[in-house]
Amino acid sequence: MTAGKPTLGVGVVGFGWMGQVHARAFSRLLQHYPDAPLRPRFVAVADTATDDRSQRAAAAFGFEHQLTDWRDLIARDDVDVVCVTGPNFIHRDVAVAAAQAGKHLWVEKPAGRTSAETGEIVAAVQAAGVQAAAGFNYRNAPAVEYARHLVRSGRLGRIEHTAVRFCSDYSAHPDGALTWRFQNEFAGSGVLGDLVSHAVDLVRFVVGDLTELVVDRATFITERPAALGAASHFSRGADGPRLPVENEDYVAALLRLADGSRGTLESSRTEVGDQNAYSIEVHGTEGALAWNYRRMGELRVCLDQDVQDAQYATLMVTPAHGELGAFQPGSANPMSYDDLKVVEAYRLVESIGTGKPVGATVTDALIAARTIDAMLLSSQERRWVTLGEA
């Protein structure tokens, strides 16, 4: 029974793709987690788009109020949790104001344009005593959670090295519009904030903390046509002036981890031939594993063999692994990107209900942001950088 549950007033700031993903996640919460302690209620959406997105939000999800100013949303007494899903340049202002107003948060990564902005969000959350989830959804894949278990339980032996790749083609076309994502004033960084933050969190979640790194960056498409009106990742520009791209398309890094192991990280937003090619491999003295987002329900494992001429096998996750049982009744039934966000919503609602953080939080986002700082410094000064030095 869900009718008698206390309600959780949901407000969404920004109703582009990610705002809609958050709304879908809350709308499905009790379908997959009937024992969740709170029942979401769609109170308000704030969006400045000139199209009918707010009206569609009301029609599709039942949002009771459609606003154009996020400050009006935060001021509402019936909003308990705020989804911060607008462009990077509003994250800090919205999140800090929401926390100071006593609202819980679900903030997409990067939480702030810089680690300083992300630190302000964390400080506001801690001062207010609210819960604050960060949008690191890939750690919620059941195969990734099982990979973490295998590593942390010692099944792979002593970890020697990890390789993580987050590569896609959403900015590969040279006529892709110069949106806010390519301007540091609005984005903070390029592929670092967009994809590398995910990659850093995945390494930390599965293997452990990073301690040192050295980085190379490149911008392959240095000019793009100006964007006209609202534009997404995938928008093409017009025939107008071409403007400079201010941040990086590509990053490659060597990593040292706290456990003494080594790692490599590669990320691109202009990689022709790849879409959402996100993967991690971990190699230890007694075994190895590999996961690819595009085959989300599979984990390649190399375990319990002689370490020379050892072979991989493919493990299909089952309802006993991670959260698969909340979505599918048996192995080889796939989960989706949106399902991972439902898991994220559930863990936030658990956090709000118990008062104890569950899942990725803005503190994880701050660690990722500080790692990006170190990467920027390493690239600028062409040297190894210790985390915390930047």
User: Over 60: is that where the pLDDT of 232 sits?
Assistant: no
Q: In the structure encoding, which two tokens stand for residue 124, read together? A: 């506001």
pLDDT of residue 58: 79
pLDDT mean across residues, the chain: 95
pLDDT in tens, 235-247: 666 666 899 999 9
pLDDT in tens, 320-379: 999 999 999 999 999 999 999 999 999 999 999 999 999 999 999 999 999 999 999 999
pLDDT in tens, 76-130: 999 999 999 999 999 999 999 999 999 999 999 999 999 999 999 999 999 999 9
pLDDT of residue 238: 63
d(CA 33, CA 31): 6
Q: In the structure encoding, which two tokens stand for residue 300, read together? A: 């390649």
d(CA 368, CA 374): 10
Query: Which is more confidently placed, 279 or 57?
Result: 279
d(CA 107, CA 105): 6
CA distances from 154 to 30, 300, 304, 307 (A): 36, 17, 12, 15
pLDDT in tens, 22-58: 999 999 999 999 999 999 999 999 998 766 777 887 7
CA pseudo-torsion sign 363, 365, 369, 374: positive
Which residues fall within 8 angstroms of residue 164, CB to CB, at 6 or more apart?
Answer: 199, 202, 203, 263, 264, 265, 266, 279, 280, 281
pLDDT in tens, 109-121: 999 999 999 999 9
d(CA 289, CA 282): 5
User: Over 50: is that where the pLDDT of 1 sits?
Assistant: no
d(CA 187, CA 205): 25
Beta 132-134 vs 159-167: how paired, if at all? unpaired
Secondary structure of the chain as H, E, C letters: CCCCCCEEEEEEECCCHHHHHHHHHHHHHHHHCCCCCCEEEEEEEECCCCCCHHHHHHHHHCCCEEECCHHHHHCCCCCCEEEECCCHHHHHHHHHHHHHCCCEEEECCCCCCCHHHHHHHHHHHHHHCCCEEECCHHHHCHHHHHHHHHHHCCCCCCEEEEEEEEECCCCCCCCECECHHHCHHHHCCCHHHHHHHHHHHHHHHHCCCEEEEEEEEECCCCEEEECCCCCCCCCECCCCCEEECCCCCEEEEEEEECCCCEEEEEEECCCCCCCCEEEEEEEECCCEEEEEHHHCCEEEEECCCCCCCCCCEEEECCCCCCCHHHCCCCCCCCCCHHHHHHHHHHHHHHHHHHCCCCCCEHHHHHHHHHHHHHHHHHHHHCCCEECCCC
Percent of the chain with pLDDT over 70: 95
Average pLDDT of span 183-208:
97
Tell me the domains of the chain and their CATH numbers: 7-137 (3.40.50.720), 142-295+297-335 (3.30.360.10)
pLDDT in tens, 284-303: 999 999 999 999 999 999 99
User: Over 50: is that where the pLDDT of 384 sits?
Assistant: yes
Of 56-65, 213-222, 240-249, which range is least confident? 56-65
User: Over 90: is that where the pLDDT of 150 sits?
Assistant: yes
Average pLDDT of span 141-153:
98
User: Over 80: is that where the pLDDT of 234 sits?
Assistant: no
pLDDT of residue 272: 98
Query: Which is more confidently placed, 40 or 2?
Result: 40
